Every structure is written in C-alpha cells, then in structure tokens.
Amino acid sequence: MEIDRERFRRLFPNLAREMEGADGNSKITITSVRSDIESGEKVAFQNFRGYSPDVIDFLRRCDNERQAGEIIDYLEKRGEISREYASQLRRQLKEKGVRSFGSKKEDGYYLKKGGL
C-alpha cells in the first residue's frame, strides 16, 4: 500500500513527527549490512559475550519478594553490593515490589535476545 507524505502526516501526525525527527527529514542510520543469516546471528549473540549479570538481572529472575530479599542478602554478604545499595534495593522491593526492577527474565532469556 502506498500513501503520500502529506496524507500520512494528516492521518498519523504524531507518528510522522517521530519518524521525521526535529528537522523534518527522515534519518535512519544503518551501521552494518549482512547478507548471511548465520553471521548476523553470531554478531547478535556476541552482544552478551563477556556480559556479567548484575544484581538487577538476578532480581528480575525472582518470582517473589522472598527470593529477591535472599538475592540482595547474599550479594551484600559476599561484598558484591554495598550496604547502602542493598538498603536502597530492599526499600524499593518493600515499597514497589519485585517487578519494579523490570519484567521477569524467563529461562532462555539471553539465548532469545541473542537470536539463537
């Protein structure tokens, strides 16, 4: 389906503004082009190569506040997070709940996000 620019702007003014940017010209930067699917998937997976999950990543795997509290306690005890940061996380957990740290990361999260 083809639609001219003016009609698109009338029908979808906010979307048109977002797509065109501040100066009225559409600009999308392409940083690479891959003609081979396998090489593209390998590069996508490399986004997590060397990635070390932090406390928030662990909290996002929790099902409930009890589990999240245990994670915070454990990382504080090991010295991986400071006492102040642990207190801040506990306060957020108590006031806003475990999902305030982000949506739940299910099994296979990194494989799916990595494109495998």
pLDDT tens, 34-65?
556 665 556 555 666 666 778 988 898 899 99
Averaged pLDDT for residues 7-36: 69
Residue 48 lies in a domain: no
Backbone dihedral region for residue 21 (phi beyond 0: left; psi -120 to 50: alpha; all else: beta): left
- Cα 91 from Cα 85, distance rounded (Å): 10
- Contact partners, residue 73, CB within 8 Å, separation at least 6: 86
pLDDT greater at residue 72 or residue 17: 72
| 45 assigned to some structural domain | no
Q: For the CA atoms of the chain, what is the radius of gyration?
A: 22
Count of structural domains within the chain: 2
- The residues, ordered by sequence, that sit 6+ positions from 6 with a Cβ below 8 Å of its Cβ are none
With H, G, I as helix, E, B as strand and everything else as coil, classify residue 21. coil
| Residue 42 within any structural domain of the chain | no
Average pLDDT, the chain: 78
Structural domain boundaries, residue 22: 1-31
Structure tokens at 79: 């010295």
Looking at the structure, tell me whether residues 21 and 63 fall in a common domain.
Answer: no
